[in-house]
Amino acid sequence: MNMSHPSVHPVEAPPVTDGGAVNVPVPRVRMKDIQGMPGTPGGLFLRLCQFLFAVVALSIMTSTSDFVSVTAFCYLVAAVALQSLWSLLLAIVDVYAILVQRCLRNARIISFFTIGDGITSTLTFAAACASAGITVLIGTDLDECGQNHCARFETATAMAFLSWVSVSPSFLLNFWSLASH
Q: Which is nearer to its own copies, 91 or 149 (CB)?
A: 149
Q: 129, 145, 150, 165: which one contacts its own copies (CB under 8 A)?
A: 129
CA nearest neighbour of 176 among 44, 50, 47, 29: 29
Q: Which of 107, 133, 144, 151 binds its own copies (CB under 8 A)?
A: 133
Q: Which residues 6+ apart lie within 8 Å of 8 measured at CB?
A: 101
- The residue within the footprint of its own copies, chosen from 51, 67, 86, 125 (CB under 8 A), is 125
How many residues sit in the footprint of its own copies (CB under 8 A)?
25
Determine, following the binding rule CB under 8 A, whether residue 15 of this chain makes contact with its own copies.
Answer: no
Least separation in angstroms between CB 147 and its own copies:
14
The reply on whether position 131 binds its own copies by CB under 8 A is: yes
Q: Is residue 78 within the footprint of its own copies (CB under 8 A)?
A: no
Distance, in Å, from the CA atom of 68 to the CA atom of 127, rounded to the nearest integer, reads 14
Q: How far is the CB of 99 from its own copies (least distance, A)?
A: 29
Instruction: Quote the least distance from Cβ 27 to its own copies, whole Å.
Output: 19
Q: Which range in 56-64, 86-94, 105-113, 125-133 contacts its own copies by CB under 8 A? A: 125-133
Our finding on whether 45 is near its own copies (CB under 8 A) is no
- Point out which residues bind its own copies (CB under 8 A): 69-72, 122, 125-127, 129-134, 136-137, 140-141, 172, 175-180
